[in-house]
Amino acid sequence: MKVLAIARNTFRENIRDKILYNLILFALLMILSSFVLGQLTLGYENKVIVDLGLSSISVFGTLIAIFVGIGLVYKELERRTVYALLAKPVHRWEFILGKYVGLLFTLFVNVAVMTAGLGLVLAYHGGVPLLSFLRLLPAVYLIFLSLALTTAVALVFSAFSTPALSALFTFFLWIIGHFNSELLEFARLTKSAAAEFVATILYYVLPNISNFTVADSRNVIQSAAYFEPIHAAAVGWATVYAVLYCTVLLGLTTTIFSRRDFK
């Protein structure tokens, strides 16, 4: 209950944030512009709309996850509202989990708004049956999972660093997360056992964002743009990965946050 109360307040706080509205507005404009761009192509109009629409959801969702995520804990500390909150019988892990769930819900609403915008553009353009549109939803869900993971990464940094540095660290990890498989390739190629060991460890320790952008060796957005189904098992394993990784990150955030002295 305490977690839900904190989550509800976090959500309310987030939706008052101007940056959030700006980002959603940009995303919706991008999705709408896909309709105009779709007119410029020869064939593949719906593909252009879906490509631009899902990419906008992913890019602007990531920006929201980073820019709102990094301020979650820091803002509470800066405004000293955390003192009042932690004076109450609220555990620190409840505070962290509540903040995280609140931001996840914010992201969920944003992604839903952007997906609805994409759906409207596709419906206006026509030629996409409802069943085909439903095939976009697994791709949207995988994008949402990547946002959940990015938020958890941002939260870890938010617990001990300034927003600027947190944004930088999260952004770098997000980039690395897309090229993680190169680390494994390096581990296979290197002739040094120590380098192979380190590269393999890093491969598992660093967040693997490509788990959500590539399903069964096919780019998720590309599959969606052709309205091809994404295998349920691939979505399932990506979900399990996201849950496990986010649990570890939330545990880490709680540990860091528990060690902070607010006296």
Output 132 or 190, the one with its CB closest to another protein. Answer: 190
238 lines the binding site for another protein (CB under 8 A): yes
* Residue 155 found at the interface with another protein (CB under 8 A): no
* Separation CA 34–CA 52 (nearest Å): 6
- The set of residues, in sequence order, having a beta carbon less than 8 Å from that of 61 and lying 6+ positions away, is 27, 107, 110, 111, 114, 143, 144, 147
241 is a site residue for another protein (CB under 8 A): yes
Size of the site for another protein (CB under 8 A): 27
Looking at the Cβ atoms of 62 and 253, the one nearer to another protein is 253
Choose, by CB under 8 A, the member of 217, 232, 261, 263 that binds another protein: 217
Q: Two tokens at 5?
A: 């109360």
Q: Looking at the chain, how many residues does it have?
A: 263
Least distance to another protein, CB of residue 68, Å? 24
* Site membership for another protein, residue 216 (CB under 8 A): yes
**Taking contact as CB under 8 A, which single stretch among the options 21-29, 143-151, 156-164, 248-256 is the one that binds another protein?**
248-256
Contact between 134 and another protein (CB under 8 A)? no
Q: Is 204 one of the binding residues for another protein (CB under 8 A)?
A: yes
In angstroms, the CA 121 to CA 28 distance is 10
Helix, coil or strand: residue 215: strand
93 lies in the binding site for another protein (CB under 8 A): yes
Member of 12, 80, 91, 260 binding another protein (CB under 8 A) = 91
**Cβ of residue 127: shortest distance to another protein, in angstroms?**
29
Q: Which residues of 208-226 are buried (b: 16+ CB within 10 A; e: fewer)?
A: bbbbbbbbeeeebbbbbbe
Query: Exposure pattern of 125-151 as b/e (b: 16+ CB <10 Å)?
Result: eeebeeebbebbebbbbbbbbbbbbbb
Residues interacting with another protein, by CB under 8 A?
91, 93, 184, 189, 203-204, 208, 211, 214, 216-218, 233-234, 237-238, 240-241, 243-245, 247-248, 250-252, 254
